Structure 1
Amino acid sequence: FGAFSALVYGSVAIGGWVGDKVIGTKRTITLGAVVLTVGYALLGLSAMANFGGESLIYVAMGFITMGNGLFKANPSSLLAKVYDDGDARLDGAFTMYYMAVNLGSFFSMLLTPWIAEKMGYDIAFGVSAVGLIITVINFMMCSKMVKDVGSEPDLTPVNKKHYLGVVIGAIALSFVSAILLQHLFYAHAILVVVGCSIVFLYLKEAFSISGLERAKMLVAFVLMLQGVVFFVLYFQMPTSLNFFAIHNIEHNIFGISVQPEQFQALNPFWIMIASPILAMMYNNMGERFAMPYKFAMGMVLCSLSFLVLTFGAKFANAQGIMSSNWLIICYGFQSIGELLVSGLGLAMVAQLVPQRMMGFAMGMWFLTSATAAVVAGWVATLTTAPAGITDSHQTLTIYSDVFAKIGYSTAAIAVLTLLIAPKLTRIIRGETQAATEQATA
């Protein structure tokens, strides 16, 4: 999972660059969705009486990797271009966009395990492919709404040679990804090379300019580093928290029986509840609740999300099983923290990075997820119960101890982010530069 996530998010910067400079944001969105459709269709075929064997599974995952890479950064880049620089509505718009994404996630997380159990995984993956086909048709039908919005290539006739080159490149890289998924060392090594190259290009661009524009880009870089820490915690949901739900949480919510995997639907559920409230709060508070403070508060809530499980472990029953209410609270804290960090990460990039490199910078934001995916996989191994241990009391001790370490470590980082938030806010507002100019005048 760590290698797959790393390749997905590591390829997003490439997709952002393609949208910015090569074929346009809107065309890249459509192409990415088509490549994703192929990936899920192949995954459905592989699940059909083991058609194609293990090799087809890896090829399917390769197409899903590249489809995500092309798609993921570009809808947010397109949204950012709808608003003028400095528009106070941007944070609220990205929060509602994030809610819309999680609305789909909520229903898919509830339906997919049920479809897979009742009808088989081939049908579940087939439904995913059909959903993506509907997405492509819907986007093409609604494209007139944003006909005057997009990157520079969007506003000119398509260059057929460039488009064909991107298609061939996407197919080739899909097969390369399939190979890398079978060789984790090389996948991680390439991620390191790609990551370092992207960071180098970003910092090179930042230091090639001066004044407030450079300062904002450097603040964005600091906030991206905070994002890495957040995403390490975020990726515990499909790993550590999932296994914890299997071993140590009662499998019902308010008396309704659920499968352990369905607890993940609590994440988009909380996001749907909290998003409109936070969007209104952002619009009302404006600059009084600046981006660095939002990131810092997100880290505080993420810390609490793990500490609440450590505290709840003290109230486990005689069988070592905890009430699902503790996991509901945990997901609540983490989901609101997610809205403050991940949900606003794209808005942060839109605010602080020049329009000319918006898609690339959006991709770099997603690269924080790729970096975190590798670290998160290592953290998840710490919570995995050793082979042969199935006793709930033993797994409860393992999980609660590691969650305590994660929670307290995150709390320390949260305090640090709160301490530097005032300085970063002054830099963003240009107050530091103004004071320097006044002192030298």
Structure 2
Amino acid sequence: MEFKFGGSEQNQRTVLGHPAGLFILFFTEMWERFSYYGMRALLVLFLVASIMDEGWGWERADALLLYAWYTGLVYVTPIFGGLIADKVTGYRNAIVIGAFLMTLGHASMALEVFTDIFFFIGLGLLIIGNGLFKPNISSIVGQLYLNQGKEKDAGYTIFYMGINAGAFLGILLCGYIGESVGWHWGFGLAGIFMFFGMLQFYYAQGIFGRIGLRPDKMDGYVDQRTITGEVKDETGGRIKDKTYEEAKPAEEESPKVTSDRLIVISVLAFFTIFFWWAFEQAGGSMTIFAADYTDRVLVGGGALTFKIFNTLLTIIPLMIITWVLIMLFRQTFKNFPLASYALGASFVIIWGIVIWMLMRQFEEESPEVPASWFGILNSFFIIAFAPLFSKIWQSRFNPTGPVKFAIGLILLGIGFAILSYGSMGIPVGAKTASVSMIFLVLAYLFHTLGELCVSPVGLSYVSKLAPVKLVGLMFGVWFVANFIANLLAGVTGSYIDPIVEEYGMTTFFLIFTLVPIGAGIVMLLLNKTLIKKMHGIR
């Protein structure tokens, strides 16, 4: 048996052409993103909701500043989480510890009804836990592939689909329950599935072989059975074994090559700041736009159409994800039953909540679309288009990394141009309006297409360009760029009221149109230089 993928023998079994271990990570990350995006969807809405609506009644600017610091810090702590994993805990232990801290964080936020301090303790635990979790699970994905080509790019795109499946379900369910039932119920629900994700990963981690173990368990390790490239299988037959590739050190690159590749990572990280600075308006100013400036009340035929559309929008992706779950069970249930039970239980619960929510919505005669609902469009479009983009990246039409970044930035700018156009009828200084929902829908579509060109591709390039001993650290550095972007996104968004009062909503969204498109053009101009500095990495 030839080992095509990193990890154990069980990881050579495939799901959709990729190693089974990728889908262990897929579902672990899915539930972590469920918890993160579910809580994020509620954060600003909860803070600005009136005391009568069980919110805190904060001003928009103050709520968006807290949002800025929270979403920023969850991306700066990964640099420390990556270092800790590289030097002390290993990737796998860091993931488990981080997931446990985030579970406690969501539980603490659910207790905000008793005292405000629980809310801030919860945010702190989420920030620390995310730092241990986020860079290290991405690092393991990269080590599942023994080659550095298109297959790894496709693997990261599939992994990114898992991220957005979790975001989709988290925003949909936590958002609905938080807005319709109670904020603390929405916060608490986010923690339940983080707990299931932790259990699933913990009990299935054996599939990764020696990938992600503590550094002291890797130093000097050489499996004498595999030096010759052959071992015996369980029946005594001789099989070709590539697990030695995990144990031997990578070939050393010249300092010039290493330096050039680190420069490429730095340049790509810099341009992601422009992307996420604009994109992360989704949880801030775009959520406020959805809540206060969009016509969300549906009556008559429009209400029925939305109910049917929302049902299909919810059920079809969940059925697809459940189908992937079943395929994974076929490959892993025998070897990792406890992980399978934990994952299976989480899906039983999620189906129950989805059916309850849809039945409840159908009973409403004139439903109001929750402001948080629009956030699921991004995740839905990811789930719908990720397989297509994955195929394109594996085909002869696959563009270079810098060109992908440029396309993504330009598509993002087009999405904001649509919002800017749709806001032209809003009077200068208006606090409310009734703009058609179609503008938000189209904006999320273009933002998503842009995201597919940037985020999974960026993760893949970090894993391919970074020296082996610095992979965790470089993923941390990559997320520092996200920290800067998220912080700037919230700070910029906090000026929505003064900008709208003086210049209008159209001008506010025009800012996020011009800057990303300009950055995309610059990236196109840098394409050849960056390709040269990659020294053969594609």
| Shorter-chain TM-score tier | 0.7 to 0.9
The partner residue of 1:42 within 108, 111, 120 is: 108
Q: Which residue matches 1:273?
A: 384
3-state SS in 2 of match to 1:369: helix
Q: How many Å separate the matches in 1 of 2:158 and 2:190?
A: 23
- Structure 1 runs not aligned, ≥5 long: 158-207, 387-393, 432-441
3-state SS in 2 of match to 1:84: coil
Change (3 A) 1:143 1:252: farther
> Could you tell me the percent identity over the aligned residues?
26
Q: Which residue matches 1:167?
A: none
Deviation by residue 1:80-115 (Cα, 9 ceiling, x = unmatched) = 111124232111111111110110110111111222
3-state SS in 1 of match to 2:288: helix
| 1:291 matched to 2:353 | no
The partner residue of 2:516 within 407, 410, 413 is: 410
3-state SS in 2 of match to 1:74: helix
**Amino acid across the alignment from 1:282:** W
Aligned length: 369
| 1:419 matched to 2:530 | no
Q: Which residue matches 1:21?
A: 87
* Higher alpha-carbon deviation: 144-153 or 2-11: 144-153
Q: Is the 8 A contact 2:140 2:212 kept in 1?
A: yes
3-state SS in 2 of match to 1:11: helix
Q: How many Å separate the matches in 1 of 2:117 and 2:293?
A: 35
Q: Which residue matches 1:370?
A: 483
**Amino acid across the alignment from 2:437:** S
Q: Which residue matches 2:194?
A: 132
- Structure 2 runs not aligned, ≥5 long: 1-66, 220-252, 307-367
Q: Is the 8 A contact 2:153 2:390 kept in 1?
A: yes
TM-score, length of structure 2 as denominator length: 0.64
Q: Which residue matches 1:308?
A: 418
Q: 1:44-123, aligned counterparts within 5 Å?
A: 44-47=110-113, 51=114, 53-123=115-185
Q: How many Å separate the matches in 2 of 1:297 and 1:144?
A: 39
Provide the aligned C-alpha RMSD in A: 2.5
Q: Is the 8 A contact 2:295 2:434 kept in 1?
A: yes
Q: Is the 8 A contact 1:383 1:398 kept in 2?
A: no
Q: Is the 8 A contact 1:27 1:154 kept in 2?
A: no
* Higher alpha-carbon deviation: 66-75 or 333-342: 333-342
Cα distance, 1:154 vs. partner? Answer: 7.8
Change (3 A) 1:213 1:151: farther
Q: Which residue matches 2:506?
A: 400
Q: Is the 8 A contact 1:115 1:123 kept in 2?
A: yes
Cα distance, 1:145 vs. partner? Answer: 1.4
3-state SS in 1 of match to 2:148: coil
Q: Is the 8 A contact 1:219 1:428 kept in 2?
A: yes
Q: Is the 8 A contact 2:426 2:505 kept in 1?
A: no
3-state SS in 2 of match to 1:250: coil
Deviation by residue 1:309-336 (Cα, 9 ceiling, x = unmatched) = 122334779x953221111111111111
Deviation by residue 1:412-432 (Cα, 9 ceiling, x = unmatched) = 22111111112212322459x
Deviation by residue 1:278-305 (Cα, 9 ceiling, x = unmatched) = 001101137x511111111111111111
Change (3 A) 1:332 1:397: farther
**Amino acid across the alignment from 1:77:** S
Q: How many Å separate the matches in 1 of 2:213 and 2:265?
A: 21
3-state SS in 2 of match to 1:284: coil
Q: How many Å separate the matches in 1 of 2:194 and 2:216?
A: 22
**Amino acid across the alignment from 2:379:** P
Q: Which residue matches 2:76?
A: 10
Q: How many Å separate the matches in 1 of 2:511 and 2:453?
A: 23
**Amino acid across the alignment from 2:519:** I
Q: How many Å separate the matches in 2 of 1:297 and 1:221?
A: 19
Q: Which residue matches 1:428?
A: 534
Q: Is the 8 A contact 2:274 2:515 kept in 1?
A: no
Q: Is the 8 A contact 2:179 2:370 kept in 1?
A: no
Deviation by residue 1:333-362 (Cα, 9 ceiling, x = unmatched) = 111111211222211101111111111111
**Amino acid across the alignment from 2:263:** L
* Higher alpha-carbon deviation: 8-17 or 251-260: 251-260
The partner residue of 1:142 within 204, 217, 233 is: 204
**Amino acid across the alignment from 1:101:** I
Change (3 A) 1:149 1:61: same
- Larger Rg belongs to: 2
Cα distance, 1:156 vs. partner? Answer: 5.1
The partner residue of 1:31 within 85, 94, 97 is: 97
